[in-house]
Structure 1
Amino acid sequence: MLTCEVCGEELLLEEDMKTHLLLVHLESDLHCPLCFLPADSYDQVHAHMSEAHPEGQDNLPKHPSSTSASTSRVPVGQSEDAPAKKAKCIRASTLVNLKSQEQEIPPEPEHTGPVSGTLSAEEPETSQESDNSQPRELCSSGGRPGSFQAMERSGEPEQWLKSPQRLLSCPMCALVCSSPSVLQEHVELHLEEQNPEKGNSSTDLKLAVQLQQEEEDRRRREEAWQEKEHFKKLQKHYGLDGSGGYRRQMEKTMEREVARGLLAPADFHCKKADLMESLASGIDDGRSRTCGAVEALTEFYQTKVRDCVHVWLCADTDHFGASTGDKGWGCGYRNFQMLLSSLHRTEPYASSLQGACFPSIPQVQRMIEEAWKAGLDPQGASHFNQRLQGTRAWIGATDIYVLLTWLGVRARIVDFHQPTGPGDTHPRLFDWVRQYFLQSSQSSRLPPKVIRTSLPPLYLQHQGHSRTVVGVEQKKNGSLCLLLLDPGSTLSLSSDAVSAAIRHIRKFPSSLKHKQYQLLTVQGVLSAEDKQAAVFNSRTFCAERIP
């Protein structure tokens, strides 16, 4: 004999015991026979049926451990009474029919008509006493019997929450969630929709914004510090750091010479007196001036140079070299003195420049400041803070343009802003200079080897330095060579030193390889109206660009 471990019923065969367990004790698939609410035990089915379906107590499956006759133990050899057998048959039939209905009957299609969670009054109840009877369907028009929709529409959602799944409802809408984590995520979505700024102000976002702001502040402070240091270096490099100008540098140089024993104290006081007199008069002392540079070049090319076809030279020009007072920063001023020395020998410039005869460097600075006050080059004036006197400020082609315009001389700036030949050379610059000197040549006859013109020299500027172009040489192979006077070097015109000096004057294309060059040329005298227009146009310079 085999005894059921659940209800104690004894059976003869093992196949009968399996059938008994399947039909009577479907513990793994217990649910309400009316609404199919799942349950874990018979106690939960009893509790649910007594609260939700009191009218269906007749179909309630009996608990295997109850004292009813359907589950009582029967001694061996005795048979169960009729009521117990009947109850057991009803229970088995109900469970089998419910199981088969859940597996075989497909869900009814949805529709949008009225929904009712109770049986219609006109629908007759079927008998549950018969083995072939079907249970009542507690369902709506949409959804499977026993679904949550049917429970909610019947007005009893709390019974669903009492199920073992422990479903949780959203406090902000009618949605029911199956777990606390799902409910938490759902509620957070509600909160983000009501307050969209809350997500943007989360802790991670605030931290990211704070770190980005700190990085931006640090970068700005670093850039400001670097810009300040760079500006200090530029001021020191260009003589705008307040360390003194021409006079102060001259005095310091003489004091060092006295300290080293190179200059006697008496000579120091004599030179200082001469310096003060020159500064007071505004006229250069002439110590660094060398006259007759063009004459010496003419003689050299006529007698000693054999490999050139032609050489063009400008009008007479004096060489001005750097002195102890402007060494390292005065090239622009010295080149202006060279140009001015040539203009004083050429008409019509000589009559217009009677009041500007060989000015000293401090006097040139004073003249530029007067030009600024007259309205010329407001941007340049702002760059130098309206002050040049007493500084070692560098000047360039635009400052020479301003100075010449203020003196009534028409000037023009040509900008060779990029190389035009192989190896960063500037062949276009050489061709332009040759064409400049050719404008005064006579085309009716064959030009001589050395051509002296009445044209003023050219002011040549590049980054960090400037020189004066006094001529151009053309060789037999067609190559060109510029003749430059450099204020940074001394010039000796003695018969023995000319050959050595000419090596520093001749510059071939391979020697001029800076990225940018500017040429300033003088083109006549300005009338009063032209000068006023030039003052107005100097607010924005428009140099001619080649190429």
Structure 2
Amino acid sequence: MLTCEICGEEMLPEADMRTHLLLGHLEGELSCPMCPLAGVTYDDLQFHIDTAHSENEPSRPGKRCVEEESETQARASGGRSSAGASRSAGRRCPGGDAGEPTVKRGPLQSPFHTPENAHLQPLQEAEAGKLTLTSHKAMKGNLMPRKSDSTDETLVASPRKGRFRCNLCEIFALYTVEDMDFADVPGECRGWTSEMFLHVAEFSCPMCALVCSDCFVLQEHVELHLDATQSDLQLARQLQEEEDLRSRRQEAKREAEDFKKLQGQYGLDGRGGYRRQLETCMERAVSRGHMAPLEFHRKKAEVMECLASGVDDGKSRTSGLMAALYEYYLKNGQDIANVWLSAETDHYSSSEGDRGWGCGYRNFQMLLSSLQKMELYRDYGTVPSIPRVQALIEEAWREGADPQGASHFKHRLQGTRAWIGATEIYSLLTSLRVRARIVDFDQPTGPGSTHPKLFEWVKTYFSASSSRGARLPPRVAKSSQPPIYLQHQGHSRTIVGMEQKKNGTLCLLVFDPGCPLEDMRRLLTPGLGASSVRLFRKFPSQLKHKQYQVVSAEGVLSPEEKQLQIETSKTLRAERIP
């Protein structure tokens, strides 16, 4: 005996069973033998039976649901009183549960939603017990419910609790009610018709923990997130722009302050030049009681007269130091092998009018004082004052010398406290028709950031002229070479000689304009001692700046050579060692 698993009908021949399955279930309309579900495919019906009726599967399900089917037909024909009586008797399809507990729902859940039920739940129907269920694939494209048509799959409602949950899709559920007079219709749903149904969907926000029951509500909610994010992004950009603007302003202010300090350091801050600084110092001396008003006016008149003549007044000059050094080395220095001294040179100390910035001008005065004592350079006249030296450099710029340096100073030195360096001395000597040579020792060449090549170069410069024509050069030699202008960062000096110890150590002899006038003139007293000579000595360990430049005078230029040198200085390049 063969039994149909779908409807429970029994028959003997296997061929009859196949015909029954084909006509009754495959080609015909399939229906659930345990509940009014109909109009579904074989696979969907099998899935429905396995899930909705698995716990109470009968051996003859068709017979067990006779009363429920008649009850459903009575409801479809409008038999309200009999339906109510049947329900009061408690007859249910095995898939239902009359004692199902009430589930507490959240604020966003439908009043019909029971999340613990994973199987397909029954619905109440007002018309023929049928409800449209949008297919799972269609709901993926459109989450809104639609009315029944001929192509939709239909689901027959069972009387279980009056609600369904889709077994194919965990995202949504469909709800409807039969008539407002049925006993199991919730109070809030009384009066609904079969055309009134609710699609309750749980849509979780991807940006927060909120769960929405409608896709459009979720869309509006997410758009609020995006609008807030966009606003936050705009606010962040605005704050960043304000911070960048504030940083740029602070940086510009700091750069302006640093530039102003740098201008003040190099005398380009517009506070006046030599004359103004000298007058300020004298006024300060009067206010402190160190100078009488009468003396102030007398000195001021002398300054004005000196500036008008363009000749240095000589009040900061010390002459005779080279002779004093020569006498000292003849009588002393038993540990010294050789000494080479430059030609006679006067020392010029900084005065109140140029203290702090006039070292370059004072070293040029020292160099020029030596040139004037030589027959070759005797036509160069007297030593000019500092304002006159500034005017001479400006004239050299106007002739075309060193245009880059002129641009740095904006073609103006007079009336300023601007520092000058090796390139300005080179341009000035070229303008005065003195053949100048500028050599750059741009990096240390010895241990401990020392410059032994600089010392060797100076030794060669002085010893070459003193040893000419002599088989055995003297221990102390007076050279016919003028002194050397020595420049490094922040200061400049004048090299007037070279000392070599018996152990081979070299030592420069320099005139420093920073040495006070009183100390220099004290060296002229008889009996110059070793402690006094220490002021002039500079050993390699004392010259550790990164870069040094020297300018030497090596003859006179013809007018044609002068013009060529000026043209060459337009792209001024120093000789580099090493």
TM-score (norm 1): 0.67
**How far apart are 1:248 and its partner, in Å?**
1.5
2:507 alignment partner, SS class: strand
Structure 2 residue runs of 5 or longer lacking an equivalent are: 1-31, 54-61, 75-92, 95-134, 142-148, 156-164, 173-200, 208-214, 220-225
Count of residues in Structure 1 that have an aligned counterpart in Structure 2: 419
Contact residue 62 and residue 70 of structure 1 kept, 8 A: no
Q: Which of 260, 272, 285 is the matching residue for 1:257?
A: 285
Structure 1 residue runs of 5 or longer lacking an equivalent are: 1-22, 46-58, 72-90, 93-145, 169-177, 192-197
**How far apart are 1:179 and its partner, in Å?**
6.9
- 2:371 maps to 343
1:337-378, Cα deviation, whole Å (9 max, x unpaired): 000111112243334x24xx2100010111111122222222
**How far apart are 1:454 and its partner, in Å?**
1.1
- 2:464 maps to 439
Q: Distance in 1 between matches of 2:166 and 2:377?
A: 113
Q: Distance in 2 between matches of 1:499 and 1:255?
A: 40
Contact residue 340 and residue 499 of structure 2 kept, 8 A: yes
**How far apart are 1:68 and its partner, in Å?**
6.8
Contact residue 414 and residue 519 of structure 1 kept, 8 A: yes
1:311 alignment partner, SS class: strand
- 1:399 maps to 424
**How far apart are 1:311 and its partner, in Å?**
0.6
> Which residues of 2 match residues 3-402 of structure 1 at below 5 A?
25=34, 32-34=40-42, 36=44, 65-67=68-70, 148=137, 156=151, 165=169, 180=203, 202-203=230-231, 205-351=233-379, 353-354=380-381, 357-402=382-427
Q: Which of 537, 540, 543 is the matching residue for 2:568?
A: 537
- 2:491 maps to 465
1:8-34, Cα deviation, whole Å (9 max, x unpaired): xxxxxxxxxxxxxxx96599x999343
CA distance 1:224–1:500, shift in 2 (3 Å) = same
Q: Distance in 1 between matches of 2:282 and 2:454?
A: 41
Contact residue 456 and residue 522 of structure 1 kept, 8 A: yes
Q: Distance in 2 between matches of 1:383 and 1:38?
A: 97
- 1:80 maps to none
**How far apart are 1:148 and its partner, in Å?**
4.3
1:152-201, Cα deviation, whole Å (9 max, x unpaired): 9x9946879x9563879xxxxxxxxx9745999xx99xx9xxxxxx99x9
Equivalent position amino acid for 1:429 in 2: L
Q: Distance in 1 between matches of 2:154 and 2:552?
A: 104
Equivalent position amino acid for 1:519 in 2: V
Q: Distance in 2 between matches of 1:68 and 1:434?
A: 130
**How far apart are 1:382 and its partner, in Å?**
2.3
Contact residue 413 and residue 520 of structure 1 kept, 8 A: yes
Contact residue 35 and residue 68 of structure 2 kept, 8 A: no
**How far apart are 1:312 and its partner, in Å?**
0.8
CA distance 1:30–1:379, shift in 2 (3 Å) = farther
Q: Distance in 2 between matches of 1:330 and 1:32?
A: 109
Contact residue 31 and residue 38 of structure 1 kept, 8 A: no
2:283 alignment partner, SS class: helix
1:411 alignment partner, SS class: strand
1:64-89, Cα deviation, whole Å (9 max, x unpaired): 62217999xxxxxxxxxxxxxxxxxx
**How far apart are 1:262 and its partner, in Å?**
2.9
Contact residue 35 and residue 65 of structure 2 kept, 8 A: no
Contact residue 39 and residue 154 of structure 2 kept, 8 A: no
Equivalent position amino acid for 1:252 in 2: T
Two-structure CA RMSD over aligned residues (Å): 4.3
Equivalent position amino acid for 1:414 in 2: V
CA distance 1:341–1:183, shift in 2 (3 Å) = closer
Percent identity, please: 53
Q: Distance in 2 between matches of 1:429 and 1:466?
A: 15
Contact residue 414 and residue 546 of structure 1 kept, 8 A: yes
